[in-house]
Amino acid sequence: MAGIFKKKHCRYQPTIQFYFHHKTMAERIIDTPLNRPVSDETLLKVAKEIVIKFIEVGRLTPATFEQTFESIYQTIKKTVRQA
C-alpha cells in the first residue's frame, strides 16, 4: 500500500516562475516602450472619436466644429509628441 503513494521520479521539477510566468495587464503596459511613433492617421482617429463623443453629449455644435476639432487635434498631437 505504501508504494501507491510514492512520488514518481521526474527529471523536470517546475519552479515557482513556471506557475506564475504570465504577466498581468498592468505589467504588460508598463513593459511596452512609450517612445513608439504615433502616425498622424492615429491622431486623427483619436480626435475624431473625442469629437463624436462631444457631439453625442451636446458639447459641440456645427458652428464651433472647426475650432473645436483643431483644438482637440493639436492638444492630442502635442501630448503624444511630448512623451
> Is there a contact between 43 and 80 (Cβ–Cβ < 8 Å)?
yes
Instruction: Name which of 36, 50, 55, 39 is nearest 70 in CA terms.
Output: 50
Q: How many domains does the chain have?
A: 1
In tens digits, the chain (83 residues) has pLDDT values of 455 545 555 565 555 555 555 666 566 655 556 666 788 999 999 999 999 999 999 998 888 989 999 999 999 999 888 76
Print the domain residue range for 37.
Answer: 2-82
Give me the pLDDT at residue 10, please: 57
CB 38 within 8 A of CB 47: no
